[in-house]
Amino acid sequence: KWKGEGTTPNLDSIIIGRCYEYIRIVNPAVGEKNCSELLEAFKKAFMNKDPCNILPSDYELFINLSQHSIPPNKSLFWENNQFLVSSYAARTHRYMPLGDTLIGAFGDLLNWCGQANNTEVDDSCPTTEECENNAVESFWRIASINYARQSSGIIHVMLNGSATGGAYPVKGFFADFEIPNLQKERISQIEIWVMDDIGGPDLDSCGKGSVQILEALLKEMGYDITCIDNYKSVLFLLCLDHPDHPRCSVISSALSAQRGPVFSD
Ligand code: ENP
């Protein structure tokens, strides 16, 4: 009956598996957690309820039980490049974006909603267009607020310079729930990376378009900011799939120079 995708099959098992994998293998620094208790708290937010009447505060108990600290300089905010961000972050080895926290592990790439007067999950769920107060949207809202509050040191933001509608959406999780909840006194710098898709248009860059709007806003809030176009380290990762593209020539020319003597031997 709803337009959105339904609850991911085997949701409980996926979450329990992800939770124990996170606390035992990915990030044991979070310490002991009771994953069954966390799953119960998570489900209590939306089960047996009108799927259009779920508020961020319904997840409060879940957030309190599952939260852990985010190491300084490890926060990575983003818009419109989820897969690049998760590959670059490398499951907390380089960075710890929200999706690589214990809270994020409960929602990343999953979908869920309950039904009024029914103890089953639903196989179709409301989209945010149908109703804003849905289970998934409210989850990411409170998760974003909590993540921004926990972030400290140098903050990184990865934006997509090829995104239609701008690299920095003025309405989005970063603008609406993260920027306003950053703890200014605990933040030394904000570094913005604007990555263009290889083969995609260069629509936005540092100092231009929506990135300029973001830079001006953060400066006005008193942050020390830097902005880098096509940050090399992330560009290397993009270029893995397009080694011969002209935008990757910085890397290919270095490699052919390296190869030269080997082949001429
Ligand atoms: P999209 O629309 O590009 O991608 C949404 C996909 O990323 C969904 O599969 C979603 O899981 C997963 N996801 C991982 N972390 C977040 C998240 N953190 N979030 C919403 N979805 C997330 O992403 P958005 O909507 O622009 O959100 C980007 C925001 O995430 C940025 O503000 C960044 O700083 C923040 P699911 O459960 O929907 O299947 C917050 C909101 O970390």
Question: Per DSSP, what are the bridge partners of residue 187?
Answer: 153
Which residue out of 5, 42, 63, 82 has the highest number of ligand 1 atoms within 8 Å of its CB and is therefore the one to mutate? 82
Nearest residue (CA) to ligand 1, atom 4: 82
Q: In the prediction, which pLDDT does 29 show?
A: 97
Which residue out of 134, 162, 173 has the highest number of ligand 1 atoms within 8 Å of its CB and is therefore the one to mutate? 173
With a 6 Å cutoff on the Cβ, whether 62 touches ligand 1 is: no
Task: Give the atom of ligand 1 at the shortest distance from the alpha carbon of 80.
Answer: 3
Could you give the CA distance from residue 48 to residue 78 in angstroms, rounded to a whole number? 33
Tens-digit pLDDT profile for the chain (265 aa)?
999 999 999 999 999 999 999 999 999 999 999 999 999 999 999 999 999 999 999 999 999 999 999 999 999 999 999 999 999 999 999 999 999 999 999 999 999 999 999 999 999 999 999 999 999 999 999 999 999 999 999 999 999 999 999 999 999 999 999 999 999 999 999 999 999 999 999 999 999 999 999 999 999 999 999 999 999 999 999 999 999 999 998 776 666 766 655 544 4
With a 6 Å cutoff on the Cβ, whether 95 touches ligand 1 is: no
CA angle 247, 248, 251 (to 5 degrees): 145
Task: Give the atom of ligand 1 at the shortest distance from the alpha carbon of 143.
Answer: 40
Ligand 1 mean position, distance from CA 127 (Å): 14
With a 6 Å cutoff on the Cβ, whether 126 touches ligand 1 is: no
Ligand 1 mean position, distance from CA 194 (Å): 18
Q: In the prediction, which pLDDT does 265 show?
A: 47
Nearest residue (CA) to ligand 1, atom 34: 77
pTM of structure: 0.94
Q: In the prediction, which pLDDT does 100 show?
A: 98
User: What number is the ipTM of this complex?
Assistant: 0.90
Ligand 1 mean position, distance from CA 58 (Å): 19
- CA torsion through residues 17, 22, 25, 29, sign: negative
Ligand 1 mean position, distance from CA 31 (Å): 25
pLDDT in tens, 58-76: 999 999 999 999 999 999 9
pLDDT in tens, 140-178: 999 999 999 999 999 999 999 999 999 999 999 999 999
